Amino acid sequence: MKNQPKLVLASSSPFRKELLKKIYSSFDSVSPDIDESRKPGETPLELSKRLAIEKANALASDFPEHIIIGSDQVAMLGEHQLTKPGGFENSVSQLSRSSGQVIHFYTSVSVLNSKTSESITETDLCKVHMKQLSDEEIKNYVLRDQPYGCAAAFKSEGLGIALFEKIDGEDPNALVGLPLIKLTRSLAKMGINVL
């Protein structure tokens, strides 16, 4: 991996950092500080893609000769967006609504070469089929895993996996926040082989 361009992860997420470390050991991680509000009429797919691109572009002037990775995840229960719950009550409420339902996760990753302005953006769609959960199971889970900073109020890489009936998706990493299969493909197109 000598003479490879420097990588920057446009995120302060500890989950995304851990995922990127699986495939690339040396990179900077910087919060892009952008407005993540949904625009009127914007679909979950459009929102996820736009924010991934905006996150990467937000760091381009500070890192002018780098490969910048932006990623964003939108979780939807029907027409309702599931955000980071922030605390116990909201976590219980989200999981109660999600019990026995299917949650759609749109996880986009945008790879930007800030030197050439070349950019590749892809989106992974993952469907999580939730078990029918009792109030006690939900509260026990939230107390144990404390998923307060996770969209849809669970950590799939932790005890959250016990909440699922099944997962339909290409890449289990996407559910955690960074689709590594699509990312490695995009990096390869930019001349970075992680192997």
Nearest-Å Rg of the Cα atoms of the chain is: 17
Phi, psi of 158 (to 5 degrees): -120, -140
Residue 74's closest CA among 41, 42, 97? 42
Residue 46's closest CA among 123, 152, 128, 103? 123
Is 72 catalytic? The answer is yes
Q: Exactly one of 28, 35, 72, 168 is catalytic; which is it? A: 72
Q: Cα dist. 14→9, 17, 20 in Å?
A: 11, 5, 10
The amino acid present at 99, given as its one-letter code, is S
Catalytic residues: 72
